Every structure is written in C-alpha cells, then in structure tokens.
Amino acid sequence: MMSAQDDLFGSLFEHRDRRLDRLGNPLLELDAQVDWEAFRPLLDPVRNKVRKSSAGRKPWDGVLMFKALVLGSLYNLSNEQLEFQIEDRRSFQRFIGLSDAKHAPDRNSYWLFRESLKELKLTETLFNEFNRQLDRAGMIARKGQLIDASFVKAPVQRNTPEEDA
C-alpha cells in the first residue's frame, strides 16, 4: 500500500525529472538514440558466469552495468566516483535504469564487471558497437569531466605582523 508520503515524494521526483528534461538532459537524448537491448546478447555471458554458490546478491543487470560504464567513460570517472555520482545524481540513476528504491552498484561491482568484460574480451566489441550506434545517429561523444571539489585545511599563520615584516 502506498502512503501519502510515498505519493508526495513520487510527485516531487516526477516534477523534478520533467524540469531537468526541459532544461536539456543530454542523457535523455543518448538513451533515445542507442539501442541498449542490442547489447544484451553480448552481455549475457558476463551475467551467466558460473557461480561457486547461490549465496549473496544476484548479479546486476548487464545493460544497467554497461550503461554505468558508459557514464564512467564519458565523464572520466573512477569506480569510486562512478558509485558516488550514480548515488548522488538523479539523471545518472534514471539513465542506467535504477528505480527510486534501489541503491546503485558499488565500486567493487563496477570493478568486477569491468574485469569480467576484459576476461571475456568484450570491452572493445561493446564500445565499438556503442560508437557505431552513436555514429549512425549522427552523434559524437565529447568526453567531459565532473569536477571533484576537495577541501583541505589551510595552514594556520603563526607569525605576528612584525615577524612577517
């Protein structure tokens, strides 16, 4: 049963999403131009790897993970920053297909997925297909960077004005 609070937050998210889309969410256009399901047959071997045990969380959806790696590549993000940015940014969550209730995969999940792609020699094939689809749609991926603000304490000045002179 949905509570009034869930309904309120759902409405706020929907309003915010529509507003962001009107302001020019570039990921919306990218999502519309790329046939992500075309990647699924290539990604299925990663998800269907033999598992030693059925314990633990089931693997993340391959298309979701590949879309996250695309974001990481486009914005030049480390696995740590990819985890943070997807948790933090609603546009990234929507792009990869996370519902409001789900947490993003963690940095280790991205690392393991990337390693599985390398092991299966799929990385180049996947990104070549991604670039082919972009080219076909008349799009060019301009890689950018999100700026990570770091704060450090400035050294405390202990000299008196006379000592400085």
Residue 5 inside a domain? The answer is: no
Residue 84 inside a domain? The answer is: yes
Residue 88 inside a domain? The answer is: yes
Residue 141 inside a domain? The answer is: yes
Query: What percentage of the chain reaches a pLDDT higher than 90?
Result: 44
- Compute how many other C-beta atoms are within 10 angstroms of the C-beta atom of residue 46: 22
With contact defined as beta carbons under 8 Å apart, do 104 and 87 qualify? yes
pLDDT band at 97 (very low <50, low <70, confident <90, very high): very high
Report the pLDDT averaged over residues 141-159: 56
Residue pointed to by tokens 């004005």: 161
Among 20-29, 64-73, 151-160, top mean pLDDT goes to 64-73
Q: How far apart are the first and last CA of the chain?
A: 72
d(CA 154, CA 165): 21
Residue 76 inside a domain? The answer is: yes
pLDDT band at 9 (very low <50, low <70, confident <90, very high): low
Residue 105 inside a domain? The answer is: yes
With contact defined as beta carbons under 8 Å apart, do 61 and 104 qualify? no
What confidence tens digit (pLDDT) does each residue in 27-74 have? 888 898 999 999 999 999 987 766 666 676 778 899 999 999 999 999
- Compute how many other C-beta atoms are within 10 angstroms of the C-beta atom of residue 132: 10
CA distances from 148 to 15, 78, 96, 111, 155 (A): 28, 11, 21, 20, 22
Q: Whole domain around residue 31: which residue ranges?
A: 13-47+57-145
What confidence tens digit (pLDDT) does each residue in 64-90 have? 999 999 999 999 999 999 999 999 988
Residue 96 inside a domain? The answer is: yes
Number of domains in the chain: 1
Strands, E, within 26-131: which ranges?
none
Residue 82 inside a domain? The answer is: yes
pLDDT value, residue 24? 74
